[in-house]
Chain A
Amino acid sequence: MARMKFLCDADRCIECNACVTACKNEHEVPWGINRRRVVTINDGKPGERSISMACMHCTDAPCAAVCPVNCFYTTADGVVLHSKDLCIGCGYCFYACPFGAPQYPKVGNFGSRGKMDKCTYCAGGPEADGSKEEYEKYGANRLAEGKLPLCAEMCSTKSLLAGDGEIIAQIYKERVTKRGYGSGAWGWKTAYRETIES
């Protein structure tokens, strides 16, 4: 089985936010929630870089480890998903997550955070693949249809890569070799405890 990962080639990202928009549209993500976002570091200064970030689907995911009701599970493809039926909206995954992925619909901060929502790697949730219930809770299940996450699929500069970790790492390595530079696979060390040597 593949081990699905995301890789953002920061030297290619032009901060167009198309991945953000594609994600919101594909999954009809509620207002106020962004499963993916583009963060620009050192904005306007020399060496500025933009990185598109969502749930990294960590190895040994911290969210899953701290969840008091154990509502997370990792699929055979290495995608970290959760059950909104089991989630109690306590906020613990959100304290533990290194990437700010878990978010809560504003049902009101007063004691009720609502069910957690995060990037599903376009792989839905525990419901039957492609079912109406699955779509309403988690959005589209593209992976079940044999497609990769839409954010990466439609990235105009092919900065954002999705797919099997070894393959996208290879693509990135070749890019770095060919062009002679690369600012690294952002978040990989934190998410997967490994990085791409180049």
Chain B
Amino acid sequence: MAFFGKFLRLVLGACAFLLIIATSTPSGAQQVNPTASSVKEQQLLQELNRVQGRVSIPDQRSGVLEQPAGRDWREFRNVTLRWIGGIAILGMLAVLVIFYLSRGMVRLESGRSGRSIVRFTAFERFVHWMTATCFIILAISGLNITFGRPLLLPLIGFEAFSEWSQWAKYAHNYLSFPFTIGVVLIFLMWIVGNIPNKVDVDWLKRGGGLVGHDHPPAYRFNAGQKAIYWIVVIGGAAVAGTGYELMFPFYLSGIEGMQLAEIVHSVVAVLFVAAMLAHIYIGTVGMEGAFEAMGSGTVDINWAKEHHRLWLEEENARTGANDARPQPAATAAE
């Protein structure tokens, strides 16, 4: 009996042992599942939209494993920017053509007086043209980066387009320096005279003389010119700042910062180009007698009277000249 009891205990014990093994094997495997607490890609991407870790190579920036934000930037560059740029630039050109065809050149209504007054000094003109030359090259080389591949590459082929784009890139990078200096000088030398005031409100209300044949008074710079000034100063600062951020990668920001910088740079730049098209228009074919202000530096007295009456009065008061024949008589007398 004692033997039977022993045997029964052994059998029961064996059965219990087998049962424990049988039931514990699958649950045991799950307990050692090492992925239970492991990092998960999709979770990390949802939290930060990037995956970052540690690398043992010297380039610590390569610790960013994944940043899918590049795909959003791609969408901006290839689709959004082309729409913004296309609409801004072609739209502005269309407006200018329509305006020219309907309004024509803004004529000097009282004709030329034959007498002139200095409007911009040699230094002012130098700064203007240095900035303008740089701007045109920067604009063309910049537009090439956005629109060159669909528009120019099919026409001239891969090798020629690459060669041209390489030089355009060098020009874009290096001419940014004189351009920036130009913007700073423009800011400093014309800040007096470009602070908006009450005269501008009146000027704007009367359509600036562009609509109809009105001649609202203005000091040295009218509201339209002030707008151009601030576009150059603020737009120029924005493109220069973001441009240098891209030229010196990782000095100011990481990759997201550079994506953002490129977005700001390109949007401001295409709007800047559109604004400058209007500036070029009114300074050349849009208005009689306007180009010589930046060309020879002098304008006809009648032009000054029609477009900048208050400035002419100021100048006359300053030089002590009255309206009638100042310079020729004075020189003749000497």
- A-side residues, CB < 8 A to B, are 10-11, 15, 17, 20, 32, 34, 37-43, 46-51, 53, 62, 65-71, 85-92, 94-100, 109-113, 180-184, 186-187, 189-190
How far does the Cβ of A63 sit from chain B's closest Cβ, in whole Å?
A: 9
Query: Would you list 25 pairs from A and B whose C-beta atoms are within 8 A, ordered by A residue?
Result: A17-B57, A34-B57, A37-B55, A37-B57, A39-B54, A41-B51, A41-B52, A41-B53, A42-B53, A46-B37, A47-B39, A53-B65, A66-B73, A66-B77, A69-B148, A85-B159, A86-B159, A86-B162, A95-B73, A98-B66, A110-B173, A183-B41, A184-B40, A187-B41, A187-B65
* B39 contacts A42, C-beta separation under 8 Å: yes
Contact A180 B38 (CB under 8 A): no
User: Which range holds the interface residue count of chain B?
Assistant: 35 or more
Contact flag A99-B66 (CB < 8 Å), given A40-B54, A69-B165, A181-B34:
yes
Q: Is the interface of B mostly helix, strand, loop or mixed?
A: helix
Please list the residues of chain B having a beta carbon within 8 angstroms of any beta carbon in chain A: 29-30, 33-42, 44-45, 51-59, 61-71, 73-74, 77-78, 144-146, 148-149, 153, 158-159, 161-162, 165-166, 169-170, 173-174, 246-249, 251, 255, 258-259, 262
Contact between B66 and A190 (Cβ–Cβ < 8 Å)?
A: yes
Q: Which residue from B53, B71, B153 sits with its C-beta under 8 Å from A98? A: B71
Residue of B56, B58, B74, B173 most packed against chain A (CB within 10 A): B74
Taking the closest CB of chain A, its distance from the CB of B44, in whole angstroms, is 7
Which listed residue (A17, A32, A98) contacts B59, Cβ 8 A? Answer: A32
Q: Would A40 and B35 be within 8 Å (CB), given that A85-B162, A111-B170, A190-B66 are in contact?
A: no
Instruction: Report how far A10 CA is from B148 CA in the complex, Å.
Output: 42
A99 partner residues in chain B, CB cutoff 8 A: 65-66
* 4 additional A-B residue pairs with CB within 8 Å, beyond A70-B158, A181-B33: A39-B51, A40-B55, A41-B39, A69-B161
Contact A183 B38 (CB under 8 A): yes
Inter-chain contacts of B38 with A (CB < 8 A) = 10-11, 47-49, 183
Q: Say whether A184 contacts B41, CB under 8 Å.
A: yes
Chain B residues whose C-beta falls within 8 Å of the C-beta of A10 in the assembled complex: 38
Cβ of B53 and Cβ of A39 under 8 Å apart? yes
* B201 CB to nearest A CB, Å: 43
With a cutoff of 8 Å between Cβ atoms, the chain A residues found around residue B63 in the complex are: 39
Q: Quick one: closest A residue to B33, CB to CB?
A: A181
Alpha-carbon distance between A40 and B53 when the two chains are bound, in angstroms: 5
The reply to whether A62 and B70 form a contact with Cβ atoms under 8 Å apart is yes
- The 10 closest A-B CB pairs, nearest first, are A111-B173, A41-B53, A47-B37, A39-B53, A47-B38, A181-B35, A86-B162, A39-B65, A96-B70, A88-B166
Q: Known contacts A92-B77, A95-B255: does B65 contact A111 (CB below 8 Å)?
A: no
| CB neighbours of B166 from chain A (8 A) | 88
Cα distance A37–B59 in the bound complex, in angstroms: 10
- Contacting pair B249 A69 (CB below 8 A): no
Give Cα A113–Cα B29 distance, bound, in whole angstroms: 52
* Chain B residues, Cβ within 8 Å of A69: 148-149, 153, 158, 161-162, 165
Closest chain-A Cβ to B267's Cβ sits at a distance in Å of 15
Known: A11-B34, A11-B35, A51-B65. A95 touches B258 (CB 8 A): yes
Residues from chain B with a CB closer than 8 A to the CB of A92 are 77, 145, 262
Contacts of A37 in B (CB 8 A): 55, 57, 59, 62
Point out the residues of chain A lying under 8 angstroms from B39, CB to CB.
Answer: 41-42, 47-49, 183
Cα separation A187 to B51 with both chains bound (whole Å): 10
Instruction: Check A86–B158 contact: CB distance below 8 A.
Output: yes
Residue of A nearest to B63 (CB): A39
Known: A20-B57, A90-B145, A98-B70. A39 touches B62 (CB 8 A): yes
A38 touches B55 (CB 8 A): yes
Query: Once the chains are docked, how many angstroms separate the CA of A46 from the CA of B34?
Result: 9
Report which of A48, A68, A98, A190 forms a contact with B148, defined as CB distance below 8 A.
A68
A67 neighbours in B (Cβ, 8 Å)? 149
Cβ contact within 8 Å between B165 and A68: yes
Task: Report yes or no: B78 in contact with A88, Cβ–Cβ below 8 A.
Answer: no
- CB neighbours of B258 from chain A (8 A): 91, 95
In the assembled complex, the Cα of A172 lies from the Cα of B65 at a distance in Å of: 21
Task: Check A97 against B158 for contact (C-beta < 8 Å).
Answer: no
Chain B: CB-nearest residue to A61: B74
Contact status A189-B42, CB under 8 Å: yes
Q: List, in ascending order, chain A residues with CB within 8 A of B73's CB.
A: 66, 95-96
Residues of A with C-beta under 8 A to B35:
11, 181-183
A100 surroundings in chain B (CB, below 8 A): 61-62, 64-65, 67, 255
